[in-house]
Amino acid sequence: MINLVHRARTCVRFDRHVVYLGTPPPNEACPGLIIGTTEAMLIAPASHGAAHVSVENKTTRRITVVTRRLNITATFGTHPAVIDRILASAHLPRPAVTAVHAAVTDAPAVRPLPPNVTNYHGMAFDTCTAPSKPVMRTWWFDSPYGGVGIYLGGSDAACAQPNLTPSWLRTAAAEGWHFIPMYVGPQALFGELTKQSAKQGTAAAIDAVQHAQRLGFGPATPIYYDMEAYQPSQSTRVLRFLSAWTAELHALGYASGVYSSSSSGVSDLARQYGLGKYLMPDVIYDALWDGRRGTYDPVFGIGRWLNHHRVHQYSGNITQTYGGIPINIDQDFMNVRLPGPPADPPSQAAAQASGTSSPSQAVTQPGGTVDVFYRGTDGGLWYVRRAPGEGWARPVELGGRLASEPSAVALGGGHVRVFYQGTDGLLWQVRSGPAGWSRPRALRGMGTLGGRPMAVAQPTGVIDVFWKDARGSGVSADEYSPAGGWAAPRRLGGRLTSPPAPVISSRGVIQVFWKGRGGSLWHVARGQGGRWGRPENLGVARLGSQPQATARPDGRVEVFWRRPDKTAIVTGFLTANGHWRGPYQLGGGMPLSLPTAVSAGGLVHVFFSGHDGRLWQLTPTRSGRPGGPPQLVGKQPQSAPFAAVASGQSRIDVFWQGPGGGVWLVRISPGNHASSPRRLDGPMP
C-alpha cells in the first residue's frame, strides 16, 4: 500500500499489485511507456456532489466505484475476484457489468476540439501519463516539440490519467499542441488475443470512440491502437484484430491508426497492404528506434501510407528536461494530414470548382493536392502527385494494362477513383484513400466496352461512368452510390462514332454529348428527377472531332469541337432551360488535337495543340462568342491536353505529352496568366 499524500512524484501504475491511497500527483514521474494491467487499486477522495457509481467494464478490465466519500478505480488481469473481495470487505456494492454496444450513444456532450488538432508535421513526444497544464505550457515554449501522444484508455493502459480531461485538451490545443490519441487494449505479447480476435478488435474500437468522444475528439479523428511487438505466431490474430479495429472505427466515423514495432505489426501490415484480405489503417505509427527524425522505413515498400499518413517513434525511454522540468518520454516525428469531418454537401457549382463536372485525367482535391493519371509507354497506369508545400513527386506506376487513357474523379476526403478500359475490353477501376492505392480491379458486370470510359462525380459521392457500347455502338452507363454500390448498367441509345462526353451542370442535370453517324452532334440528358430522356440531334452537322463539354455556374453547358478541315474550334451551348444556341466559330490557328474545355473564374478556357507544334488557349466571352486571339501557353505538344481546376476556380493546371514522351505542365493563374512550361517526368506513349 502506498500513501500518495507523502509521495509528491509517485507514478500510479496499474501493472503492479499495489493499493494507492490519495489523489495522484499532478506531475507523476512515470516511465515513457509502461503497458499491461493486473489487480491494482486507486482509492481517492470523491469530488463534492459526485454521482454514486459501481460499474465493471469488461472491455477495459476496469472497475469504478464512486460513493459519497470515495472514488475507487481498480484494474484486473486474470483474477477480478481479488477486487470483488476487497470491495465486499468494505461493504461496497458489487459492480454492474457494462455492455459494449454496436453504436456509440452514451458519451456526454462536450465542446468539440478543432478538427485539425491531430494533424501535424514535426517533432512530438509521448509519455505514459499526460503532464499537468503548467508543464505543458512550459514545454510548449522551451522544447522543440509540437505534438504529444496521449493514452485515452484500454485494458492494458497501465498509468492513471488524472490530468487528461476535456479542459486539459482544450487548453493544450489553444496553446498550439497537436495530439496522437492512443488506445492500449489486448496485447498479443501477453497472449490476450483469442481465436475471436476480430470481435475483440470491434469491442476495442467502440470503447476507444467512447473515450474519444468524452474528451472532445470528434468524427474523422484518428485513434491509434497500441499493439506492442509480438512473436510471428501471433500475426494472423493481430491482423484480424486490427482489421476489425479499422472497420469499426470507420463505421463510427473515425479514422484508424496503428502503432506497432517495425519488426512485427508494421511489417505484417506492410506485407498485406493492397492485397484486400485485411483492412489497412489510415495512419501507420512506426516504432523504429533508429534516431532519424523522419518517417522512412524500408519495410513500407513502395506506395504505402504516402502523403502525410505516417508517424515514426525514433527514440524511446529517455528523460529530457526543458524549463527545469524533466519528463521520461519516447520521441516521435509526425507527418499526418487527414481530411476533417465531412461538411454539408456542397452545391453543384462547388463540385464544378473542384473539377468534377466533366471528365479529365487530372483531379484537384479540396485540400489542393493534384493527381495526374496517364497510360505509360509500358501500357500501365501511372500517376504523379503534387501536394501543397511539397512540389511534384516522382511518377508511380499503379499497375494494370490499359487500352485507353484513364478518367479520374475526386470524391473528397482524400478519395480518388480512376477508370479505364483494359486490354481485355473490360472496365477497370483503381481506388485511393488515406491509406494508399488499391490494386486494379475489373468491374466485370459492365461487360465489354466499345471504347474509353468517361466518369463524372457528384458532391454526394455518386459516380456516373459512360462508354460506347461494344455491340450496338450506343451510349451505355452505370452509376455508383456510396450507399448501394454499383447499379446494373443500362443502355441510353444513340449511334456513336466517338467516345461520349458527359458533364454535370450546376443545376445537377447530366448531359452526355457525342459525335453521331454522319458527323452530327447528339446528346441525351438526365434531369434532377433521375430519369433519362431520349437521344436528340442538336442539328449541328459534320463535327471534325469528338465533342468536349463543360458547365458554367449559371447553368449553361458549353460544347466544343474541331472543324472537319482543322482550321478552327467551334462551339455551341445549351442554356439553363435546355435551349440550344450556336454554332459559333472561335478561330484557333489550325487545331490539330481535339479541344479540352474547363470552366474557371466564371469563364470557359479551351486548350488545344496546333499544327504549328505549340499549345494554345482560347477564352470565349461570357456570351459564348469569340473573345481575344488564341494565347500561346505551351510548346511541342504530342497529345491532346487535359486539365485540372483548383478549388475555388482560381487556377488551372494543364498537362500534355511533350518532347521525349514526358508529362509537361503549364499553370494558368487568375487574370489568365500562364506560367512557363515545365516537365514533370514520367513516360507517356
Q: For residue range 134-158, list pLDDT tens digits in order.
A: 999 999 989 999 999 999 999 998 8
Cβ–Cβ < 8 Å for 475, 459? no
In this predicted structure, what is the pLDDT of residue 227?
97
Percent of the chain past pLDDT 90, that is, above it, reads: 41
Cβ–Cβ < 8 Å for 246, 209? no
pLDDT digits 0-9 by tens, 326-338: 999 999 999 998 8
Cβ–Cβ < 8 Å for 47, 60? no
Please tell me the distance from the alpha carbon of residue 221 to that of residue 260, in angstroms, as a whole number.
Answer: 19
Cβ–Cβ < 8 Å for 636, 659? yes
Torsion of the alpha carbons at 623, 628, 633 and 636, rounded to the nearest 10: 100
* Average pLDDT taken over every residue of the chain: 85
Beta bridge partners of 598: 605
Please tell me the distance from the alpha carbon of residue 90 to that of residue 128, in angstroms, as a whole number.
Answer: 31
In this predicted structure, what is the pLDDT of residue 86?
86
> Does residue 682 surpass a pLDDT of 90?
no
Given the C-alpha cell 534516431, which residue does it identify? 291
CB < 8 Å & 24+ apart, contacts of 605-611: 605/643, 605/652, 605/668, 605/672, 606/560, 606/569, 606/571, 607/633, 607/641, 607/643, 607/654, 608/562, 608/569, 608/640, 608/641, 609/637, 609/638, 609/639, 609/640, 609/641, 609/656, 611/566
Please tell me the distance from the alpha carbon of residue 556 to that of residue 559, in angstroms, as a whole number.
Answer: 10
Given the C-alpha cell 478519395, which residue does it identify? 415
Spell out the residues 6+ positions from residue 675 whose beta carbon is closer than 8 angstroms to its own: 666, 667, 668, 669
Q: How is residue 563 annotated by DSSP?
A: -
Please tell me the distance from the alpha carbon of residue 57 to that of residue 666, in angstroms, as a whole number.
Answer: 59
What would you measure as the largest C-alpha separation in the chain, in angstroms?
Answer: 99
Burial 431-468 (b: 16+ CB within 10 A, else e): ebbbbbbbebeebeebbebbbbbbbbbbbebbbbbbbb
> Does residue 656 surpass a pLDDT of 50?
yes
Please tell me the distance from the alpha carbon of residue 465 to that of residue 502, in angstroms, as a whole number.
Answer: 9
Please tell me the distance from the alpha carbon of residue 222 to that of residue 246, in angstroms, as a whole number.
Answer: 10
Give the pLDDT mean for 460-483: 86
* Cβ atoms within 10 Å of 131's Cβ, excluding its own: 22
Torsion of the alpha carbons at 143, 144, 146 and 150, rounded to the nearest 10: -60
How would DSSP label each residue in 176-237? T-EEEEEE----GGGT---TTHHHHHHHHHHHHHHHHHHHT--TT-EEEEE-----GGGHHH
* Cβ atoms within 10 Å of 382's Cβ, excluding its own: 23
Cβ burial, residue 343 (10 Å; 0-12/13-18/19+): exposed
In this predicted structure, what is the pLDDT of residue 160?
87
- The pTM score is 0.52
Q: Which domains does the chain have, with CATH numbers?
A: 2-98 (no CATH), 120-336 (3.20.20.80), 348-679 (2.120.10.70)
pLDDT digits 0-9 by tens, 590-649: 666 778 888 877 778 888 888 777 888 887 655 555 556 677 777 777 778 888 886 555
Torsion of the alpha carbons at 445, 447, 450 and 452, rounded to the nearest 10: 30
Greater pLDDT, 370 or 684: 370
pLDDT digits 0-9 by tens, 237-289: 999 999 999 999 988 889 999 999 999 999 999 999 988 899 999 999 999 99
> Does residue 64 surpass a pLDDT of 90?
no
> Does residue 88 surpass a pLDDT of 90?
no
In this predicted structure, what is the pLDDT of residue 483?
64
In this predicted structure, what is the pLDDT of residue 366?
72
In this predicted structure, what is the pLDDT of residue 628?
60
User: Which segment of 180-184, 348-352, 663-667 scores lowest on mean pLDDT?
Assistant: 348-352
C-alpha distance from residue 155 to each of 262, 418, 497 (Å): 23, 42, 65
